[in-house]
Structure 1
Amino acid sequence: MKYTQATPIAALLGLILCGQSFADSRDPEHILVLGRADSDVMSMAANVQVLDELAIANSGASNLTDLLRGINGIQISDNNTQATIAMRGFTGAQAASNTLILVDGRRLNNIDIAAPALRAIPLSLVQSIEVLSGSAGVLYGDQAVGGVINIITRQPENTGATLQLGGGSFDSYQAQGDAYGRINQAWSYYGSANYHESDNYRDHNDSQTGSVLARINYDSSATHFYAEASYFDNKVQSPGALTLAQFLHDPRQAADPASQDYQHDMTQAWRMGASHQLTSIWALSADLDYSDSLVTSMNWGSRGRNERSLLSVMPKALASFPTEHGAMTVIVGGDFSRGTSAFSFGRENTQTVSSGYVQATVPLSSRISYVVGGRYAEARDRLFDDNVYPDGVDLSQDATAFELGLNYRPSAAQRWYVRMDDNFRFAKVDEQAYTPKGITGLKPQTGRSYEAGVDWIYTDFNVGLNIYRLDLEDEIIFDNDPALTPDGGPFSGANINAEASRRYGVNSRLGWQMAFDMELIAEYQYIDASLTAGENQGKRLSWVAPHSGRLQLSQTLGDHWQWQVETIVNSSRFVEGDSANLGDKLPGYGLVNFATNYYRDHWRLGLRIDNLLDKQYVAASYYSEYGNGYYSGSGRNVQLTLQYQF
């Protein structure tokens, strides 16, 4: 294999020659949870994409990470142990704290800096995925900075079951199944189980992942209730970072053949919620979530243990007031959470966040509406660390957010919108516990997002364009400068409030329904992300690819066959952590993926080939003056699945 560089122009030209398909957005989609109320996408002043169940099945993707990789505006950093999802120009290290990931509205983000466990969500469980690009500080508060991804799990209404078996490259095997049905007219049940194991692309990178979920629902004309329990278990060996010489010689090798490093995550979660339509105008709802996790690991031969727990309560009231121009909707709610993270090396921290918000969508005419809202949030931390805070310390902080947007819909097929939304994030518990000497606690990171966009949806064409600017103050990052190490700190560097940063960007999309049941989708994203203050003022933010794009060609052949091919392109970028832009850039690259499905009665046979051309590329990298570390992207990966629906 050769380590080749592809310029953005050349890569995008390559898209035309060889090009997966997301939800056909010609028909209005309805957001189930993302807006915290049912909403028509075309009536929202926001850049929203919806990927439905059929598009997920047609993609042939075997895991959530590969599926999200192809969504316009998402960049992924994968250290071969855990992947992080970045939106709107954040590095891999920042992404886990600046992109909010939800499952049916429940936060998957951790209270510490560990990335959300995407492996916990098997694709067999997913009904649709909603992606809001941009800040959502009013609706979701903490960490909804670059965007929000809401994963909607299946809610079957009839009785049946599904069984799927699969396998493929790198000795990978999977089995998953679910069963669902009605107990009576009001009560229903749903259960799902999944298991996957693989040797994966690199040596010493074996993984075993399993999950189970059980849910019961009650539905009547005015009342809905659900209760759910789930368990997730994932163990993966950590192959470590390679030097550049090792990467070029053999990207599949482990950094240390004798390494015993691994990470093992076990999470239990319980959820329940209820909603009731009080009157023709007002409805009340509330959700209660609790999860606890145990993470054991081996890093550089040293054992680690982290126990996490998170309790969340989310009540809200929704109203729909009739007016002469349409319904005026109001959402009033609160988010309350208490999380604890205890580490084996003598650190135990607790964070409590309380917030309230209100948002109203008001029609000015049959074609124009505006949205306005605000949120107040307060975070309280109790920090204890054997080395840094042996006597413990208490912190208290607050933040606010304001939102204003305007949506103009001159016809059913067209809309224009502008939007301003504040964002913020509180430092994670392990960030607060490791700050420079003389500094107790980090200030909240705050920012403001501005964007404008237009969508045209016609019979054969749909076009979307979104432009934005994101400004951040007191951005929370880790600086490895030895001079910042806190007294008693076991490793160099500290978490700091960094210089201000600014991101400009453009997202564009073209969909064309062609002859012979073929569809072409072309997407392009540009990000200009740089520091606007401090010693690195004017320098580009590391790891952020300025240019990215995707081209997909798909076709339905009669009643049984469907195929699609896509190319995903990322331009060159600086190694993560190279804030001064001192080192060489990572080369750009393009990946070609292919999928085909055969449907017959209750059967589906699927084939997906990721990285069809077996390109060698870097999936994550980290800068160091002593030598950078590189993590390999996966080579050609062939997966075959067989599904039967009873």
Structure 2
Amino acid sequence: MINRLSAVALAVAAALAAPAHAADVQPEVVVSASRFDDADSKAPVSLTRISRDDIVRSGASLPDVLGMAAGVDVRPMSGALGIDTVVDLRGFGESAGSNTLILVDGQRLNPVDMSGIDWSAIPLHNVERVEVMRGTGGVLFGDRSVGGVINIITDKSGAPRASAGLTLGSYGYRRVDVSAAGSADATYFNIFANYADVNGWRKNTQGDQRAVSGRVGHILGDEREVFVDVAAYGDSNGLPGSIKRADYDADASRARSLTDHQKREGYRLRPGVRYAITDTLMLEGEITYNTSRQNAVYGATPYIANRDTTAFTPRLQWRHGLAGLASTTVAGLDVFHGKVDNVALDQAGSQLSRAFYVQNTTSLRSDLHLTLGGRRQIVRQHAEDRANGIDGEATHARNAFEAGLAWDLDRSTRLFTRWGQVFRFANTDELFGYDPLTYAPVFTGGNVRPQHGTNLEVGARYKADGLMVQGAIYRLSLTDEIGYNPITYANENFDRTRREGLELEARWRALRNLELNAGLITQNAKFVDGPYSGNTVTLVPNLKYRVGAVFDAATAGRYGATWTHVGKRRFGGDFDNTKEMLDGYGILDLHADWKVRDVTLQLRLANATNQKYAPYALYSSFAGDYYFYPAEGRTLFGSVRYDFR
């Protein structure tokens, strides 16, 4: 497949290079490619930047916003709040949560176990932009960035402003958002808060979500400041579970459980510094502490988990030049300690991770930029099951290297290629297994080897005159991929796997008041060795695309429509690929907004055609049946926001 994709990529690159009179392009600030603010990044990366305006006018939840980028598969499990949504980059299916790294301002949200992302910790109105960096991150971010990195950048401005908003929607949906910011002399602050709740479309999908976050900073001088970021958050929701095929066909709003539920609360504290030591040397660093407490009931069994993580992330950026060439080096440390205590099961796990990384970008010519980097990461893991007398410890280490070239054909067109290594370590839940004969719990941390592999990518980007087009082809080859095998009922290392794909996205201002946008991914994720050789990785669609349009009628409002198609997939658990395919689906979302002086009104109709579909479903060999997690039907939301002067 890669040869066919290469031909397509070369054709795309040639088409992108065609314009001979490129207009000047304003550089966009990005962080994820270097871990520093960079207004003119030379990194050879496939990166999508979702702007604040895109986020606001979509009217969607934060996980749904991420689906606006090509190559991102968003799978909500239950409920309009998106509390348990899984995000998948580059086709990892059932193990997506452990292979897509989610960051807030460069700090990890992924817990050390297999629990989901605390989306409640991020008030949507606090998000300035989102950077989706596909297929890379092994050097700068390390563990869990195999499929890519999603960096959610929050608003750090102290410009005086305040707003309040109210949203009402189908199935009893309500949300309140407030924000304020200001400054006094060299000190600035901002604060954001939201509360939302919903009755739910399915039975037992009621939920609520709340968060307060903000920053206080003090400017010490030009390019110098100290700050403290704080956040407190919580959510609770029913857990309806999956339903059998007969129930799904008869009434998808049914629930397998009417009593299962969970409640989660936590807070995050992050003091940091940004300090220009000289005109060419910048220091940045943070100490992040995050804690959460979760209480849940699954099948009448209580589940209580306490999670605590601490991270120390100092880094330097040195613009030093090299033999007369423009050259910048980034180097840093990542020290991370996380632990989870499962009180109900009398189990505990912890992980201490230490890493050093360095990355250099040198402009060999004014139009040709070489990036080289390396990372060394060591992880010590500990797991214990006090009820069964298990106490195990394991230490693993992996290296990552990356090399890439970016070639600016003109001021609007860039071609790039990159080769890099990626890896991930087992999470704390994967340190436990079961004896295949006695089914007694055992420690598997010494046997589950780190997952590792290589990523090769070729891409191009064109941006000028109201048109942006970018595309990339990739091949991601993995050894010892970590996953759960439903045949052996164990977390284990799989035989070699390979993922190949083509990603394209475009945005075009066709008319002064009409913008068109589109994104496409075609991918093939499969096993290449062992008993499943040639079989497709489950829950990974071969095709996903999105097309949309926004019409700006000025004072008469702004109107938009987006169609998203997700192709057929293998049911979760169907490693043999002998069962039927999970149906694909197409979703139409409509939105409109109007601004009258300081008041903004917005309407959003999600799943306008009332499409019945399941973003996640599995086959149980034990029960011999298919189980579905149905998505919501048609939902309508209306909101009003007032911006105080």
User: What is the TM-score normalised by the length of structure 1?
Assistant: 0.91
Tell whether 2:634 aligns with 1:628: no
Residue aligning to 1:148? 149
Residues of 1 paired with 2:297 and 2:352: CA distance?
30
Residues of 2 paired with 1:26 and 1:164: CA distance?
35
The offset of 1:391, in angstroms, is 4.8
26 and 543 in structure 1: CA distance in 2 versus 1, 3 angstrom threshold: farther
1 or 2 for the larger relative contact order (CA 8 Å, sep ≥6)?
1
Instruction: Choose which of 632, 638, 641 in structure 2 pairs with 1:640.
Output: 638
Residues of 1 paired with 2:33 and 2:181: CA distance?
25
Contact 1:574 1:584 in 2 (8 A): yes
**Correspondence 1:68-87 to 2 at 5 A:** 68-80=66-78, 82-87=84-89
Residues of 2 paired with 1:26 and 1:517: CA distance?
20
Secondary structure in structure 1 of the residue aligned to 2:384: strand
Secondary structure in structure 1 of the residue aligned to 2:268: strand
The offset of 1:601, in angstroms, is 2.1
Secondary structure in structure 1 of the residue aligned to 2:504: strand
Residues of 2 paired with 1:536 and 1:96: CA distance?
22
Residue aligning to 1:367? 367
Residues of 1 paired with 2:543 and 2:479: CA distance?
25
Residue aligning to 1:506? 502
Secondary structure in structure 2 of the residue aligned to 1:170: helix
Residue aligning to 2:581? 585
Residues of 1 paired with 2:511 and 2:427: CA distance?
52
535 and 60 in structure 1: CA distance in 2 versus 1, 3 angstrom threshold: same
632 and 183 in structure 1: CA distance in 2 versus 1, 3 angstrom threshold: same
Residue aligning to 1:550? 546
Tell whether 2:299 aligns with 1:300: yes
Tell whether 2:460 aligns with 1:464: no
The alignment yields a C-alpha RMSD, in angstroms, of 1.7
Query: What do residues 112-157 of structure 1 show as CA deviations (whole Å, max 9, x unaligned)?
Result: 0112122332211111001001121000011011011011111223
The offset of 1:327, in angstroms, is 3.0
**Correspondence 1:438-457 to 2 at 5 A:** 439-441=444-446, 442-457=448-463
Residues of 2 paired with 1:606 and 1:412: CA distance?
37
**Counterpart amino acid of residue 634 in structure 2:** R
Query: What do residues 234-265 of structure 1 show as CA deviations (whole Å, max 9, x unaligned)?
Result: 00001111101101111111124xx3100111
Contact 1:335 1:354 in 2 (8 A): yes
The offset of 1:279, in angstroms, is 1.2
**Correspondence 1:260-271 to 2 at 5 A:** 260-271=259-270
The offset of 1:28, in angstroms, is 3.0
Residues of 1 paired with 2:383 and 2:129: CA distance?
39
Tell whether 2:563 aligns with 1:567: yes
Contact 1:223 1:275 in 2 (8 A): yes
Instruction: Choose which of 605, 608, 615 in structure 1 pairs with 2:611.
Output: 615
**Correspondence 1:227-626 to 2 at 5 A:** 227-256=228-257, 259-322=258-321, 327-343=326-342, 344-386=344-386, 390-434=389-433, 439-441=444-446, 442-481=448-487, 484=488, 493-559=489-555, 561-625=557-621, 626=623
The offset of 1:160, in angstroms, is 1.8
Contact 1:447 1:473 in 2 (8 A): yes
Contact 1:26 1:462 in 2 (8 A): no
Secondary structure in structure 2 of the residue aligned to 1:95: helix
The offset of 1:402, in angstroms, is 0.2
Query: What do residues 520-568 of structure 1 show as CA deviations (whole Å, max 9, x unaligned)?
Result: 1122110111001110100011100000100011111124521110100
The offset of 1:43, in angstroms, is 2.5
Contact 1:34 1:105 in 2 (8 A): no
Residue aligning to 2:31? 32
**Counterpart amino acid of residue 420 in structure 2:** D
Residues of 2 paired with 1:566 and 1:598: CA distance?
18
42 and 592 in structure 1: CA distance in 2 versus 1, 3 angstrom threshold: farther
Residues of 2 paired with 1:572 and 1:542: CA distance?
10
Residues of 2 paired with 1:207 and 1:250: CA distance?
21
The offset of 1:637, in angstroms, is 1.1
Identity of aligned residues (%): 26
The offset of 1:432, in angstroms, is 1.1
Contact 1:312 1:338 in 2 (8 A): yes
**Counterpart amino acid of residue 480 in structure 1:** P
Secondary structure in structure 2 of the residue aligned to 1:55: helix
Contact 2:33 2:41 in 1 (8 A): no
Secondary structure in structure 2 of the residue aligned to 1:577: coil
Residue aligning to 1:49? 48
Residues of 1 paired with 2:76 and 2:283: CA distance?
40
**Counterpart amino acid of residue 188 in structure 1:** Y
Secondary structure in structure 2 of the residue aligned to 1:245: helix
Pairs aligned (count): 606
Contact 2:319 2:329 in 1 (8 A): yes
Residue aligning to 1:22? none
497 and 550 in structure 1: CA distance in 2 versus 1, 3 angstrom threshold: same
**Counterpart amino acid of residue 120 in structure 2:** R
561 and 324 in structure 1: CA distance in 2 versus 1, 3 angstrom threshold: farther
**Counterpart amino acid of residue 379 in structure 2:** A
Contact 1:474 1:499 in 2 (8 A): yes
Residues of 2 paired with 1:42 and 1:382: CA distance?
39
Residues of 2 paired with 1:631 and 1:94: CA distance?
17
The offset of 1:35, in angstroms, is 2.4
The offset of 1:111, in angstroms, is 0.4
356 and 638 in structure 1: CA distance in 2 versus 1, 3 angstrom threshold: same
Secondary structure in structure 2 of the residue aligned to 1:119: helix
Residue aligning to 1:64? 62
The offset of 1:311, in angstroms, is 0.5
Residue aligning to 2:207? 207
